Chains A and B, each alone.
Chain A
Amino acid sequence: MRSLPLIFLGVFFTLALSWVGIVLVGHLQLGDLEPASAVLVNQEAEPIAGVFFRDDRTGAYRMGANQPGEPVFPIQLTGSAQRGKRIYESMGCIYCHSQQVRRQGFGSDFERGWGDRQSVPRDYIHHERVMLGTMRTGPDLSNVGLRYSELWQHQHLFNPQITSPGSIMPRYAFLYEVRPISEDRGPSPRAIQIPDAFHPGPGLEVVPTQRAVDLVAYLMNLRQDYDLPEIRRAE
């Protein structure tokens, strides 16, 4: 093994192999997923079970089409929620929170109420940045939008101890403005309610900045509560 070209060919092809196998084939298999209706139909517009159906004439397996008139999922995030995703990314939420529900029987994701169906690749097709996460210092957030109110989210971000005593989540108070209540206009309609024990003081109010509003909009949109053809929720 002395020849540079030979060593190079070897190291090139070994890495090329895994790139083709994992990334390229993964892309070929998953790269063209589109939003789908809960039930797909065959060419006679009859509902089918799952994603593929057998074409009676040719005998080939073909992918079903979306059911006309039915809503398709997942939905693209827009506006505030879209911007909030960037805040989620820049604060590094991914290092403590996953966004993936594992199947029942593998871990305790269902039992913890993190979801009632497994996450599938189609759930993520609109995510410009897929943040599945690898750590659960905090709960999974795939369906956090279904679990709490906007007020809860704001209070929790302002100081997690308000809603979750003992939590080791950092506070994101810097996303909120603590300011004196205006004497002319009175309290801001956007100010959030803070329990007395955590309130910054009399005559002050806590108003979310645009970033906090966006982040909460994003969190409220984290939900996998729709059916997809490849996976139906347990009845």
Chain B
Amino acid sequence: MSVPASIATAIDPRTESPEAIRVRLSEVDTSMKVPGVFFMISALFWLMAGTVFALIAAIKFHNVDFLGDSEAFTFGRVRSAHLNAMIYGWGTNVIFAVAPWIMGRLCRTRIRFTNILVIGGVFWNIGVTIGIFGILAGDKIGVEWLEMPAYATPLLAIAFACTGVWVVLLFRWRESGHVYVSQWYFLAAFFWLPWLYTIAQIMLVFEPARGVVQSLTNWWFAHNVLGLWLTPIALGAAYYLIPKVLGRPIYSYYLSVIGFWSLALFYNWAGVHHLIGGPIPAWLISAGTVASVMMVIPVIVVAINHHMTVVGLHKEGWASPTIRFVVFGAINYTAVSLLGSAMALRSVNEVTHFTHFTVGHAHHGVYSFFTMIMFGAVYYMMPRLLNREWPSAMLISLHWWATAVGVTLMVVVLSLGGWIQGLRLNAISDDGTVVYQFMEVMEYLNPYMVMRSLTGVLITIGHVAFFINFFWMLCQRPDPRTPARPTLLTNEA
């Protein structure tokens, strides 16, 4: 095998025609089959559990009596259960399925010792289950994004060690000389998360720091779980999938280098913007604001790289479930990040802080960007792991429309409602009194909260479609007489 001339040809699917490479990729797929299916089943159950928690929490905003006498399902607990089920249950499980697989493919090396990967997965899921039950039982920790009680932590640590290490080892064992941008993102993410989590556990749970240093640590950690765990994985997956499916090399290698290192440099300072106006030294807030604004660089760079790769191929892309979801995620990455930079400005933050705008922003990031790209990755990965196609294009189509429309409406509703909420909360008349009483503002938000629940129902419909399609695929026997053809969305109703 001759060494390809450049990274562009290395990832160009056309150079993969030699049988040798196909065989190797298929070895990767086969080796990942058992852990991949295991993690996907876990991820899907967490997705459904997290959705149920989300609906309960959303309904409580306009119907206080809903499960009103249940201590376990009181708002403060069910909200945490939702967040943890989604981030550590759904998000991290789907990452454990997708990231080693893409890493293995890019390294051209099969995943070895998959038993350990599965054992790690079992521990992880037991840990998250214990954690969520702990939250509902009242043992939750009052630190956002770190609510799971301390007794769940050792399990999670062991689990991450068992699973995360493979992504690094795969890179060590790589048989392809070329290193592609997705590999940096994955390597970095699998290194950053354990570090973040360990520091946060030590400084917040086992030996809590004094005073507001806790808040600093909290938001350094929480924002980085999004920025240095979910984001690099989703970006890495998009960098792999867009060129792969469209059969066109990524637009610019150099831009991807700039994009990666500027993200690494700026993102981890940004978390302090959650404390603007709070009892925190002003210089720290300024540092966080500067970093948040500097995030424009990696965002624009990645946007150019992703969107320029897709440009001109929208029609072809639209037929592919993977590209539909991934491009939707990539577009929203650009949008949510630019919005996020704006929200870190003190004048904007004064309005959006403490309101539903932030909640909308969080869903914009974790759902419209991260989760949608992961859906796309799963649509591409599963047929290759199982050697069979998605049984129903109709269900994929339903999944797509329900989630894309649902989450977009949800973000719009929460942003609009949150913005007006912020303006009204801050409104002061000339004589120095507030224009709107607190309760008036909350009553005004009621229709927005009803609409938010409705968009949540829409998203739930999408998740159910995905769930059914996935298990249908898992259970069906491939018919050897009909050659498998990729399930595309060309003739959708």
Measured CB to CB, the residues of A under 8 A from B are 1-2, 4, 7-8, 10-12, 14-15, 17-19, 21-23, 26-27, 29-33, 88-96, 98, 100, 102-103, 106-108, 111-112, 118-125, 127-139, 160, 164, 166-174
Q: Contact at A132–B269, with CB atoms within 8 Å?
A: no
Q: Are A108 and B442 in contact (CB under 8 A)?
A: no
- Contact between B277 and A15 (Cβ–Cβ < 8 Å)? no
Q: Is the CB of A2 within 8 A of B179?
A: yes
9-residue interface stretch from B320-328, B392-400, B424-432, B459-467:
B424-432
> A1 and B199 in contact (CB under 8 A), knowing A12-B191, A31-B209, A100-B279?
no
Tell me how many residues of B have a C-beta within 8 Å of chain A: 86
Is the CB–CB distance between A92 and B140 below 8 Å? yes
Q: How many angstroms between the C-alpha atoms of A108 and B68 in the bound complex?
A: 31
Once the chains are docked, how many angstroms separate the CA of A96 from the CA of B427?
20
What's the nearest-Cβ distance from chain A to residue B208, in Å?
A: 6
Is the pair A4, B172 in contact by a Cβ cutoff of 8 Å?
Answer: yes
Give the contacts of B124-159 with A (CB-CB under 8 A): 138-144
Q: Is the CB of A11 within 8 A of B79?
A: no
Q: Nearest Cβ distance between residue A50 and chain B, in whole angstroms?
A: 15
Q: Given the interface contacts A125-B211, A170-B74, does A108 sit within 8 Å of B220 by beta carbon?
A: no
Known A-B contacts A11-B188, A130-B212, A170-B64; the reply to A91 vs B77 at CB < 8 A is: yes
Known contacts A11-B188, A89-B142, A112-B434: A119-B278 contact under CB 8 Å: yes
Chain A residues whose C-beta falls within 8 Å of the C-beta of B309 in the assembled complex: none
Contact A121:B279 (CB < 8 A) given known A132-B215, A166-B439: yes
Residue from the list A27, A108, A174 in contact with B426, Cβ < 8 A? A108
Selecting from B257-265, B300-308, B311-319, the interface stretch reads B257-265
Contact between chains at A15 and B439 (CB < 8 Å): no
Known contacts A128-B208, A134-B144, A174-B69; A11 and B187 CB within 8 A of each other: yes
User: At the interface, yes or no: B274 with Cβ under 8 Å from chain A?
Assistant: yes
| Residue ID in chain B nearest A4 by CB atoms | B171
B439 touches A30 (CB 8 A): no
- Across the interface, name the chain A residue whose C-beta is closest to B200: A23
Residues on the B chain within 8 Å of A160, using CB: 64
Are B261 and A22 in contact, with the CB atoms below 8 A? no
Query: Could you give, for residues 210-232 of chain B, a 1 whenever the CB lies within 8 Å of some chain A CB and a 0 otherwise?
Result: 11111111001000100010000
Residues of A within 8 A of B433 (CB): 111
B residues in contact with A111, CB < 8 Å: 428, 432-434
Contacts of A123 in B (CB 8 A): 279
Q: Do A93 and B76 touch (CB < 8 A)?
A: yes
| 16 CB < 8 A contacts A-B | A4-B168, A8-B191, A11-B187, A14-B265, A23-B217, A26-B213, A94-B142, A103-B277, A107-B350, A112-B438, A119-B278, A128-B208, A129-B143, A134-B144, A170-B75, A174-B69
B184 CB–A CB distance under 8 Å: yes
B191 touches A18 (CB 8 A): no
Of B95-103, B352-360, B382-390, the stretch lying at the interface with chain A is B352-360
Q: Are B442 and A168 in touch, CB under 8 angstroms?
A: yes
In the complex, what residues of B have CB within 8 A of residue A134's CB? 144, 274, 353-354, 358
- Does the CB pair A166–B76 fall under 8 Å? no
Q: B191, B213, B426 — which one has the most chain A CB atoms within 10 A of its CB?
A: B213
> Interface majority SS on B: helix, strand, loop or mixed?
helix
Q: Kindly report which residue of chain B lies nearest to residue A161, judged by CB atoms.
A: B64
How near does chain A come to B215, taking the closest CB pair, in angstroms?
A: 5
Q: Which residues in A have their C-beta under 8 angstroms from that of B212? A: 26, 30, 121, 124, 130, 132
Residues of A within 8 A of B214 (CB): 127, 129-130
Q: Is there a chain A Cβ closer than 8 Å to B342's Cβ?
A: no
Cβ distance A213 to chain B, nearest Cβ, rounded Å: 17
Chain B contacts for A127, CB-based, 8 A: 211, 214
A-B complex: 4 closest residue pairs judged by Cβ atoms: A92-B76, A89-B142, A18-B268, A136-B354
Contact between chains at A11 and B68 (CB < 8 Å)? no
The A interface, classified by DSSP as helix, strand, loop or mixed, is loop
Nearest residue, chain B, Cβ from A90: B138
Query: How long is the Cα–Cα vector from A13 to B230 in the complex, in angstroms?
Result: 20
Tell me which residues across on chain A come within 8 A of B471, comparing CB atoms.
none
Instruction: Flag if A33 contacts B143 (CB, 8 Å).
Output: no
On whether the beta carbons of B191 and A94 are closer than 8 Å, the reply is no
Closest beta carbon of chain B to A94's beta carbon, Å: 5
Q: Is the CB of B79 within 8 A of A95?
A: yes
Instruction: Give the contacting residue for B355; candidates A136, A139, A173; CB below 8 A.
Output: A136
Interchain nearest-CB distance for B147 vs A (Å): 8
User: B389: shortest Cβ distance to chain A, in Å?
Assistant: 36
Q: A30 and B358: CB pair below 8 A?
A: no
B119 shortest CB reach to chain A, Å? 25
Smallest CB separation, A24 vs chain B (Å): 9
Assess whether B24 is interfacial by the CB under 8 Å rule: no
Chain B residue with Cβ nearest A8 = B191
Note all chain A residues with C-beta closer than 8 A to B261: 10, 14
Residues in B whose Cβ lies below 8 Å from that of A164: 439
Cβ–Cβ < 8 Å partners of A167 in chain B: 64, 439, 442
B284 at the interface (CB under 8 A from A): yes
Known A134-B358, A135-B354, A166-B439; judge A102-B142 contact (CB<8 A).
no
**Interface flag for B71 (CB, 8 Å):** yes
B209 touches A18 (CB 8 A): no
A170 & B60 in contact (Cβ 8 Å cutoff): yes
Q: Quote the shortest CB–CB distance from B292 to chain A (angstroms).
A: 12
Encoded as 1 (CB less than 8 Å from any A CB) or 0, chain B from 280 to 314 comes to 11001001100100000000000000000000000
B272-A22 in contact (CB<8A): yes
User: Do B281 and A26 touch across chains, with their CB atoms under 8 A apart?
Assistant: yes
Please report the C-alpha to C-alpha distance between residue A21 and residue B269 in the assembled complex, in whole angstroms: 8
Q: How far, in Å, is A77 (CB) from chain B's closest CB?
A: 14
